[in-house]
Each structure stands twice: as C-alpha cells, then as structure tokens.
Amino acid sequence: MIWLTWRQFRAQALVAVGALAAFAAALAVTGPRLAHSYSTGLAGCTTLGDCSRFTQRFFADHQPLFLALSSVVLFLPALIGLFWGAPLVSRELEAGTHRLAWTQTVTRTRWLAVKLTLVGLAAMALAGLTTLAVSWWASPLDRISGGRIPRLTPPLFETRGIVPIGYAAFAFALGVTVGILLRRTVAAMAVALVAFIAVQIAVPLWVREHLMPPTHAITAVTADNIDGFELHQDSLVVSVDAPDPQGWLLSNRTIDAAGNVVASLPAEVAAACVPSPPTAQEITERKEAPGVKQQCFAAISRLGYRQDVVYQPGSRFWPLQWIETGLFGAVALALTAVCFRRIRRVS
Amino acid sequence: MTAVLRTHELGKRYRQRWALTDCTLDIPAGRVVGLVGRNGAGKTTLLNMAVGQLEPTTGTIEVLGGRPASGAAQLAKVGYVAQDTPTYSGLSVAEHLRLGARLNPAWDDTLAQDRVGRLGLDPTQRAGKLSGGQRAQLALTLGIAKRPQLLVLDEPVAALDPIARREFLQALMEAAAEQELSVLLSSHLVADLERVCDYLIVIDAARVRVAGEIEDLLASHHRLTGPRRDLDTLPADQHVVTASHTDRQTTLVIRTNSTIHDPAWTVSELDLEDLVLAYMSSQGTTDRNHSPRPSLAVQR
C-alpha cells in the first residue's frame, strides 16, 4: 500500500521537492548577502551613533522581496489543499479505479489511512521547511521590521513559526474531505480553495484575538504614543500606539472622564489640535506636524479623555502560535474522521 | 461446501428508487454463474454488494460464508473486475502487476507474468495506452493472479469487439478450469453467457426472475401452443411464465417438472435466449421504459 501511495504521489512529490529545492537555493544565495549587508551596515551606523535611518532604508529596500517570500508561505497551504488534497480520493472515484483499489486484499480504511498519513506528513513537512527557509532568510528584516510590522500581526503571523504546518494539515484534510463528498476533482479543488481562503480571512479577523484573553490598557494621549488624528467635520478621532511596540493592536477607543466610550473628541479639542481646519471633509494629520502638540495634549488631558487600548502583547507570539496550530490540527483530525466515515459509504 | 453467494431478501435503494428488491439466492460453489438482464436492471448493484463495494439497504448477503469486504481475509477470497475494467492509466502494465503483488498476500506472480507474456502485452506500456481488449485482459490478470475463490466480473466484455470478446471469455474459462474458481459474471447479452455459464440468474426491473442450473432450466421450461383456452384450466404444477392469446390460439411458456400429457398442446423446447426473453418480458415490466429489445418470445 505504501508502494502504491508513493507511486501515485511520486509526480506531485517530485514537483514539490524540485520547487522547494529551487526556492531554497535562491534563498541560500541571497540570504548570506542580505545578512552580510545588514551586519556591515549596522556596524557602520553604530559607530555614528544613530541607526534608525539605516534600518529604515534597509527595510524599505528589501520590502518587496520580503513580502513576496512571506506570501509564498501564505499561499503554500492553499496549493497543497488544491493539488494534493482534493484529487487524492476524487481522482480515483472519477476514474473508477477505486473499484480496483478497494477490491485488492486491503480494506479501504487502511487504503485511506496510508494515503492520508504519507501525503499529509509530506504536506506538513513541505510547509514546515518552506517556513523555516523563509524565516531564516528574512531574519535580519524580521529583527528591524519590529516597529513597522510586528510578527504578531496578520499577515506576518501566518508566515512565521509553526502555524503554516497547521494550515497545511488543515488544507490537505479539507481538500480530501471535499473530494470524497463531491467526487469531482475540479469541483473539489474550487470548493476547497474558496473554503480555505474564507477560513484564512476569518481566523485573523475574528478568531485569533480570542484565543487568549486580550490585554486592556488605559493610557493618556501623549506626544510619545500618539499614532494619528482624523478630523471628521469639526470633531476629532484619535488613536494611539499599543504600549507594547511588538504587540497586536485590536481596538483603540477614546473614553471620557466617566469612563464611557466616545466616538470622537469635541470641537474644542479639534480646534486645539488642528489649528486651521482644512476645507476637505477629512484629513489625516501625522504627528510630524509641528507646533500644535502642547496645547492639544493639554486640552485632551484637561477634559479627562484617555485611550482604552486592547491588544495582544508581543510576548504571546509563541503561545498564540501553539494554540492556533493545535486548533487547525484538531480541525484537520476532525475532517479526517469525516473522511473515514464517508469512505465506508462510497461505492 | 459453503455456498458461494447466499442472499436473503436483499434490497438496495438509491433515494426513492429500488435498484434491487427481494433478492433471495443460494448459489453453490464451483459454478460459472451468468447474471443477465437489461441495462439498469440491477446487475451491477447485486455484484457491487457481493464484493462489498455497496452496503445493502435491506436483507442479508453472504459470500463464501462471510460478509462482503468485512476485512482483508474476506477481500482476499473475492476477485473483482469492475465495469469498464478500470486500471490506472498512468501506471504501466508491470506496475499493475507490482500493485497486485504488493496488495495481495496470495499473489501468484508466475501466473501473472505468464499471462501478460502470452497476451503479448508490453510491460512498460502505460495502461492508458492499451486497447479496450488489452485493458480488460490486464484487469482480468489482476483478478485471477490474486488467487481468489470467487471471481466477480461486471459486464467485462460489453465494450469489446467480437474477437476480443471471445478471447477474453476463453481466457476466463481456462482460468476458471485451472484454478477451480467460482465465477459470477454479468452481461446484457445472452449469447456471451450461453457459451461459458452453467448457472443462470435472470434479473429484470430490480427483481430476480429466475435462477438455477442452466441444464435444469432448459429441461423444465416448455413452449405450449394450442387452441385458445383459459389459464385457470392448467394443472397446478404448470407455472406460467408468459402467455399470449390470439382469437383462436394460446401460446404459453411454462415451467414444470412433470411431463405434459395434454394432447391439445404442441410442446416445443426453448433455447437459453428464449428462456431469458420470456422472463424479461413477463410481469413487472409494464411500468418501465422498455429497452430496444422487443419481447420476441411470446409472439412467434
């Protein structure tokens, strides 16, 4: 059974191994160069005393490649579900070869178990290795991207650590399950892709933040933590940075002296913070804007307005990674159970 | 000797439609059993239940004393050549044999290699590039070299040209004789079965019409022609299969084990095709769309 599984999976496996090898080779060539230019640049600027300009430029220079590589990790599980998962059983059902396979001296339960185990493990290994390679390549950029893109925020969270392995297991199991239910390869590929993308959108938006109870912080609005102002007619909406720069900001609300949430600050504050209201309905004023700060923050604190910030601290990167991987692993196992139940009724 | 196939009130329903109902059979070992019926009569359903590809809705089925596909031991006892003789189009002939060897502990590799050699199949050829006849032979090789006690074949020759058809059936007969196999094969053509079978099951409109040794069936069925008469006047041991009347004449196909004494009848014998057609055109077919085959037997 192992031989047959390997024989049928061989072509797909070789394509994947070839692609992974080419990808790893490209990373191996460019990676050390990247690390080298980072360390020499860093050494150069340290002697001058200020590295913020160097890191900013270094990151900006490599950002397109950084994002492209990260998106490889992001889309790999979908490809696995599409090309390894969906056809695994549906292809046999379409060609009628299941009647050949299931009447040899091997029960269909064992047939499925061997296939799921071998190809499933290959899927997880492929996702793990790719993530490892990309993380290794991007490590200098990850180090300096902290302030810009904390690794806890989507979509960077999905492309680092161990969650890609969980996604791969889930995408594979999803593809196989849909393939058994629909019995048509192309239809199964389409449905599995849509379902997987829906999950990949839904989890960061609505699920991940609840995996661990988020942290609340009530802070004053100061020149140090101000993120930005937004002017709506003559009232002002304010947002601040999370107390933890590596954290993942979930909500940013203004509360008044009594602790009630307010949608925006009154015109009085707006006048102090934005001295000459622009004619446009809405503008964004960045904190680089000079001059107005003192009276602005003074007005906010005099009226008792503070920011209620909800966030996941950056230290929760690994706990959240483990929880989410476990979650996807559990769903993958549940889908596998569905496969075993359904396959007994397939004819 | 245990029965090769024993069913009791077996039935299978797909949503609203019964594909097979009230099927009770008891087939002894060592026979070559022909299962004949129109397309969609329920042949594939019965065979799929016999090899455990399909679960019955009602009733019980026992193959060689065990529940079909209940485990590896049961699977080893039954070989199956499915409809359209499926093979893996991307795998070569040699790889198919390797598949058989890997998945079947009782695999007879000498037999398999021998057969492939005799058939002149190129071991490196992909199954997808074989002709229909070669593919059927490859599927048959897989079924035989597994060394089952019962080999089930679902319309194995339906897609083959007359020469490939004859070669296939001949190969099947040789294997059955050499290995003392029981064989259960279906066809919608009586001519295919006549040559090779010694036991017959006629199935129509989801029901088994008749089943038995072909010799017995032929000996116990007669066509009676005579002046028009009422069927109620027949002796109790004469079971009417079909009846047709003209103004002056009555023609019957009857089943009986005793001799026919009534001098009013002209008695003639039936061949296998007549017998099958008589059963297929008897009761229960009125609510179905008739296949292109007309009910010839009663109008001659």
Distance from CA of A83 to the nearest CA of B (A): 17
The pTM score is 0.87
Residues of B in contact with A347 (CB under 8 A): 48, 53-55
Q: List the single best residue of A92, A103, A107 to mutate versus B (max B Cβ within 10 A).
A: A103
Backbone dihedral angles phi then psi of residue A250, each to the nearest 5 degrees: -105, -40
CA distance A232 to B265: 107
Q: What is the pLDDT of residue A281?
A: 47
Residues of B in contact with A110 (CB under 8 A): 72
Cβ separation of A103 and B51 shorter than 8 Å?
yes
Cβ separation of B53 and A105 shorter than 8 Å?
no
Question: What's the one-letter identity of residue A256?
Answer: D
Chains A and B: how many Cβ contacts under 8 Å?
76
Q: List the single best residue of B14, B81, B102, B150 to mutate versus A (max A Cβ within 10 A).
A: B102
Buried b / exposed e across A173-200, counting CB within 10 Å, b at 16+? Answer: bbbbbbbbbbebbeebbebbbebbeebb
Question: What's the one-letter identity of residue B295?
Answer: S
Cβ separation of A7 and B54 shorter than 8 Å?
no
Distance from CA of A5 to the nearest CA of B (A): 10
Residues of B in contact with A108 (CB under 8 A): 69
Residues of A in contact with B105 (CB under 8 A): 105
B219 versus B293: which is more confidently predicted?
Answer: B219
Backbone dihedral angles phi then psi of residue B26, each to the nearest 5 degrees: -145, 100
The partner residue sitting opposite A107, judged by closest CB among B71, B86, B100, is B71
Q: What is the pLDDT of residue A288?
A: 46
pLDDT tens across B214-238, in order? 999 999 999 999 998 888 888 888 8
The partner residue sitting opposite A96, judged by closest CB among B54, B55, B86, is B86
Cβ separation of B91 and A95 shorter than 8 Å?
no
The partner residue sitting opposite B76, judged by closest CB among A3, A95, A105, is A105
pLDDT tens across B105-129, in order? 999 999 999 999 988 999 999 999 9
Distance from CA of A109 to the nearest CA of B (A): 10
Residues of B in contact with A99 (CB under 8 A): 53, 80, 82-83, 86
Residues of A in contact with B90 (CB under 8 A): 8, 11
DSSP H or E segment with residue A176:
helix A163-182
Mean pLDDT by 10 residues, chain A (347 residues): 92 94 91 87 81 82 86 94 96 94 94 96 96 90 70 88 96 97 96 96 93 90 80 78 85 87 81 62 49 75 88 92 97 97 88
Mean pLDDT, rounded, of chain B = 88
Q: List the single best residue of A100, A106, A342 to mutate versus B (max B Cβ within 10 A).
A: A100
Q: How many CB atoms are located within 10 Å of the residue B258 CB?
A: 9
Distance from CA of A92 to the nearest CA of B (A): 9
> Residue B297: pLDDT above 70?
no
Distance from CA of A82 to the nearest CA of B (A): 20
pLDDT tens across B36-79, in order? 998 888 999 999 999 999 999 999 999 999 999 999 999 999 99
Cβ separation of B142 and A95 shorter than 8 Å?
no
Distance from CA of B227 to the nearest CA of A (A): 52
Residues of A in contact with B101 (CB under 8 A): none
Distance from CA of B107 to the nearest CA of A (A): 10
**Nearest residue of chain B to residue A110 (CA atoms):** B72
**Nearest residue of chain B to residue A96 (CA atoms):** B86
Residues of A in contact with B127 (CB under 8 A): none
Among chain B, residues having any CB pair with chain A shorter than 8 Å are 48, 51-55, 69, 71-72, 75-76, 78-80, 82-84, 86-91, 95, 98-100, 102-106, 139, 142, 146
Cβ separation of B79 and A103 shorter than 8 Å?
yes
Tokens coding A231: 């002017």
Cβ separation of A105 and B72 shorter than 8 Å?
yes
The three-state DSSP-derived secondary structure of chain B is CCCCEEEEEEEEEECCEEEEEEEEEEECCCCEEEEECCCCCCHHHHHHHHCCCCCCCEEEEEECCECCCCCHHHHHHEEEECCCCCCCCCCEHHHHHHHHHHHCCCCCHHHHHHHHHHHCCCCCCEHHHCCHHHHHHHHHHHHHHCCCCEEEECCCCCCCCHHHHHHHHHHHHHHHHHHCCEEEEEECCHHHHHHHCCEEEEEECCEEEEEEEHHHHHHHEEEEEEECCCHHHCCCCCEEEEEEECCCEEEEEEECCCCCCCCCCEEEECCHHHHHHHHHCCCCCCCCCCCCCCCCHHHC
> Residue B293: pLDDT above 50?
no
**Nearest residue of chain B to residue A2 (CA atoms):** B102
The partner residue sitting opposite B102, judged by closest CB among A3, A110, A345, is A3
Cβ separation of A103 and B98 shorter than 8 Å?
no
Cβ separation of A95 and B105 shorter than 8 Å?
no
pLDDT tens across B148-174, in order? 999 999 999 888 888 888 888 998 999
Residues of A in contact with B51 (CB under 8 A): 103
Burial class (CB in 10 A: 0-12, 13-18, 19+), B284: middle
> Residue B300: pLDDT above 50?
no
